[in-house]
């Protein structure tokens, strides 16, 4: 059904079990494919009339029926208005649902064969670290001969197949179709990045999670959530979902892993534990159930001990950063909960490579280093600069900017962090989108003092300036875009890769070799 090739008979007993109310007299409908966009409706489609930010799906309900939709599903809040519409008839297959996003997601999953029920699904949420933790898990599981799908910031990947999705968490139909595809291609595990937008908008409804990971929660996306409380409540949805699944299927959930180095992590762990979950909840942090100790950093990687459940594990990685050690620990603990033994996991995990654009290092002459990272929040930028400082360079030069038409409150915070932690900062364009770059820079500079920063709007020129200033045993940090290979400037998107630009410019630099 995912490609609209097959079809299924959706019967009255099934729609009643899923929670749909209708005056439709027939006992079944034939559905060829689920759709969210009324413009894509064709004969036999099931149209799910989700309400968006600016438009309501109910406004396209009758249009979908005219185009041949065999069923239309809509929020029960709109029932009175629809029944009073002159076009309404009890002969029309219109289905009303309470808790619409929840049962719509469950129905879409059902129509596609409930693929997540046949996979081991790991959900990862948090402000920072989702992608790295997810890819650590995928890489290790693949080494353990467990075919594993990944759906997240870097797109969809399974084996050699890679596909850009545009969103960290795709729409609810695409999500279940990707899980259906993964199952057909013999995947055993699926690792999903659960964004706050995706959780709040119900894009993950109907997914049967088996394990959840919370990395951290710091300021981001307040342009959407408005305040940190709403942002937190969105992230919490994943763990409430785990509880719901575990109470329905007691052995289905392996556990929850919660980073508690932020106040929100401590709060989440306390709140979930207070609900008496029938699965283990492992906290990770200085005061957590699992603790990282004896951390030894170098440009060749980090070593540390992880203490958990009265056992000590030696962690060794070529990855840089304490935050990467935490991501390493999240992935390691998840694998233990999934039933793997430490002795079989660690040899593979020690060889893990960082995802592209996450603490990625380019080495130059005479101890010069370039670090490219996706850090685009205050917390991520601080962690990044702390990691670089821990490696004792003579000087840290930072190139960064902030995205346009996004959370403005974080801009002065990031400027203050740059001002305090970098020896010299070059403020530049990130993805200005439709916002005036000068306005973005002004926000960043609000709390910056002194003369240790300049503004170079063109990002390639800013990187070139940083490389020109870069001396022996110094580090140039390029933050904000990481793996991205594009830049959004007003109404156009151009190709731009920090790594490509930095590598090409570095090769052309004529440094004094004395």
Q: So what's the pLDDT on residue 323? A: 86
Q: So what's the pLDDT on residue 5? A: 45
Q: In whole angstroms, what is the distance from residue 192 CA to residue 348 CA? A: 21
- Tell me yes or no: is domain 360-508 CATH 3.90.190.20: yes
Question: Is there a contact between 304 and 294 (Cβ–Cβ < 8 Å)?
Answer: yes
Average pLDDT over residues 193-200: 92
Q: Is the pLDDT of residue 222 over 80?
A: no
Query: How many residues would you count in the chain?
Result: 514
pLDDT tier for residue 438 given thresholds of 50, 70 and 90 = very high
Strand partners, 246: none
Average pLDDT over residues 116-136: 94
CATH fit for domain 114-349, picks 3.30.429.10, 2.60.40.3500, 3.40.1190.10, 3.90.1300.10? 3.40.1190.10
Nearest CA to 32 out of 11, 8, 10, 62 is that of: 8
Nearest CA to 157 out of 180, 171, 138 is that of: 138
Question: What are the phi and psi torsion angles at 166 (to 5°)?
Answer: 90, -25
Q: So what's the pLDDT on residue 1? A: 64
How many Cα atoms within 13 Å fall on the side-chain side of residue 238? Answer: 31
Question: Is there a contact between 1 and 39 (Cβ–Cβ < 8 Å)?
Answer: no
**Conformational region of residue 321, where left means phi above 0, alpha means psi within -120 to 50, and beta covers everything else:** left
**Percent of the chain's residues with pLDDT above 70:** 97
Question: Is there a contact between 329 and 435 (Cβ–Cβ < 8 Å)?
Answer: no
Q: What is the pLDDT of residues 320-362, one digit of tens each?
A: 988 889 999 999 999 999 999 999 999 999 998 877 898 899 9
pLDDT tier for residue 224 given thresholds of 50, 70 and 90 = low
pLDDT tier for residue 45 given thresholds of 50, 70 and 90 = very high
Place of tokens 């490219």: 372
Nearest CA to 475 out of 384, 374, 403, 413 is that of: 384
Q: So what's the pLDDT on residue 269? A: 97
Q: Is the pLDDT of residue 240 over 70?
A: yes
pLDDT tier for residue 220 given thresholds of 50, 70 and 90 = low
Q: Is the pLDDT of residue 7 over 90?
A: no
Q: How many C-beta atoms lie closer than 10 Å to residue 276's C-beta?
A: 8
Residues 6+ apart with CB under 8 A from 141: 148, 188, 189, 335
Q: What is the pLDDT of residues 265-288, one digit of tens each?
A: 999 999 999 999 999 999 999 999
Helix/strand/coil for 119: coil
pLDDT tier for residue 264 given thresholds of 50, 70 and 90 = very high
Nearest CA to 109 out of 206, 178, 16, 31 is that of: 206
Q: What is the pLDDT of residues 395-423, one digit of tens each?
A: 999 999 999 998 899 999 999 999 999 99
Q: So what's the pLDDT on residue 513? A: 63
Segments making up each domain of the chain, as ranges: 8-110, 114-349, 360-508
Q: Which residues of 44-77 are buried (b: 16+ CB within 10 A; e: fewer)?
A: bbbbbbbbeeeebbbebbbebbebebbbbbbbbe
Strand partners, 150: 157, 191
Q: What is the pLDDT of residues 81-117, one digit of tens each?
A: 999 999 999 999 999 999 999 999 999 999 999 999 9
Residue 383 Cα to chain centre, angstroms: 18
Average pLDDT over residues 226-246: 91
Q: So what's the pLDDT on residue 223? A: 54
Q: Which residues of 167-182 are buried (b: 16+ CB within 10 A; e: fewer)?
A: bbbbbbbbbbbbbbbb
Q: In whole angstroms, what is the distance from residue 381 CA to residue 404 CA? A: 17
DSSP code, position 354: P
Q: So what's the pLDDT on residue 281? A: 98
pLDDT tier for residue 379 given thresholds of 50, 70 and 90 = confident
Q: What is the pLDDT of residues 452-471, one digit of tens each?
A: 999 999 999 999 999 999 99
Question: Is there a contact between 315 and 328 (Cβ–Cβ < 8 Å)?
Answer: yes
Instruction: Taking the CA atoms of 97, 98, 102 and 103 in sequence, report the sign of the dihedral they define.
Output: negative
Mean pLDDT of the chain: 94
DSSP code, position 99: S
- Tell me yes or no: is domain 8-110 CATH 3.40.50.980: no
Strand partners, 11: 28
């Amino acid at each position: 059904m995912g490609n609209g090739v097959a079809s299924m008979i959706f019967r009255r007993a099934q729609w009643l079990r899923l929670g749909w109310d209708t005056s439709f007299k027939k006992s079944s409908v034939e559905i060829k494919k689920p759709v969210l966009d009324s413009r894509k409706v064709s004969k036999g489609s099931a149209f799910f009339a989700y309400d968006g930010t600016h438009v309501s799906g109910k406004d396209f309900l009758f249009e979908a029926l005219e185009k041949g939709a065999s069923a239309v599903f809509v929020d029960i809040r709109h029932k009175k208005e629809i029944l009073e519409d002159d076009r309404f008839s009890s002969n029309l297959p219109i289905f009303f649902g309470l808790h619409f996003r929840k049962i719509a997601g469950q129905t879409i999953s059902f129509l596609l064969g409930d693929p997540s029920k046949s996979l081991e699904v790991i959900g990862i949420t948090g402000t920072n670290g989702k992608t790295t933790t997810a890819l650590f898990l995928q890489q290790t599981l693949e080494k353990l001969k467990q075919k594993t799908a990944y759906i997240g910031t870097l797109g969809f990947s399974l084996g050699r197949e890679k596909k850009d999705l545009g969103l960290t968490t795709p729409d609810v139909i695409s999500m279940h179709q990707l899980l259906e595809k993964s199952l057909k291609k013999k995947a055993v595990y699926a690792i999903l990045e659960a964004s706050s937008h995706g959780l709040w908008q119900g894009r993950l409804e109907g997914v049967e999670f088996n394990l959840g990971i919370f990395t951290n929660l710091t300021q981001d996306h307040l342009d959407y959530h408005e305040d940190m409380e709403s942002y937190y409540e969105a992230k919490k949805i994943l763990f409430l979902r785990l509880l719901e699944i575990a109470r329905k299927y007691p052995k289905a959930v392996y556990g929850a892993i919660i980073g508690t180095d932020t106040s929100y992590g401590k709060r989440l762990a306390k709140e979930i534990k207070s609900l008496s979950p029938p699965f283990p909840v492992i906290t990770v942090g200085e005061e957590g159930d699992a603790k990282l100790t004896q951390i030894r950093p170098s440009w060749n990687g980090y070593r540390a001990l992880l203490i958990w459940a009265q056992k000590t594990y030696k962690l060794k990685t070529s990855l840089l950063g304490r935050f990467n050690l935490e991501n390493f620990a999240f992935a390691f603990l998840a694998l233990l909960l999934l039933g793997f033994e430490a002795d079989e996991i660690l040899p593979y995990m020690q060889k893990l490579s960082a995802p592209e654009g996450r603490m990625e290092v380019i080495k130059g002459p005479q101890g010069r280093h370039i670090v490219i990272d996706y850090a685009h929040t205050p917390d991520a930028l601080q962690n990044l600069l702390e990691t670089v400082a821990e490696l004792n360079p003579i000087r840290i030069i930072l190139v960064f900017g902030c995205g346009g038409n996004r959370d403005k409150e974080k801009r002065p915070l990031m400027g203050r962090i740059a001002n305090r932690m970098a020896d010299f900062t070059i403020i530049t364009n990130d993805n200005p989108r439709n916002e005036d770059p000068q306005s973005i820079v002004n926000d960043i500079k609000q709390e910056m003092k002194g003369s240790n920063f300049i503004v170079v709007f063109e990002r390639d020129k800013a990187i070139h300036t940083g490389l020109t200033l870069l001396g022996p045993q110094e580090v140039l940090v390029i933050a904000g875009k990481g793996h991205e290979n594009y830049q959004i400037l007003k109404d156009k998107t151009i190709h731009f890769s920090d790594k490509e630009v930095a590598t090409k410019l570095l090769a052309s630099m004529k440094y004094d070799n004395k």
